[in-house]
Amino acid sequence: MINKICILIFLLTLSNVHAEELSCNNFKKSTSDYLKCKANYLKQKTISSTTKIINETKNYQDKEWEKEKKKINKVKKKLLKDDN
C-alpha cells in the first residue's frame, strides 16, 4: 500500500514537471484558461502514465505466470484423459 502511494506521488511529481513543457504559456498565469490548460495536460499525463504502469504490470504477470499456466493445463489434460 505504501509503495502504491509512493508511486502515485512520483507520478504526480513527474507529471508536474512535464506540465511546464505544454504550450499553456500563451495564457496569463493568473487566468482560469491557464489553469484549465495545465489541469488538462496533467490529467492526460497521469492517465498515460497509469496506463503504461498497468500494461507493464499485466505483461510482467503474464510472463511470470506462464510456466504455472502450462503446468495447470497439463494437469487439466491429464485429468480429462483419465475421465475418458
Q: What is the largest CA-CA distance in the chain?
A: 76
Check residue 1 and give its pLDDT: 63
Look up residue 35 and give its three cell numbers.
489553469
Phi/psi of residue 51, nearest 5 degrees: -60, -40
**Tens-digit pLDDT profile for residues 53-66:** 999 999 998 888 88
Where in the chain are the domains? Answer: 2-83
Q: Taking Cα atoms as reference points, which of 48, 51, 49 lies closest to residue 59? A: 51
Assign 82 a pLDDT band (cuts: 50, 70, 90): confident
Q: What is the pLDDT of residue 19?
A: 44
Rounded to two decimals, what is the model's pTM? 0.48
> Taking the CA of residue 3 as centre, how many other CA atoms within 13 Å lie in the half-sphere pointing to its CB?
0
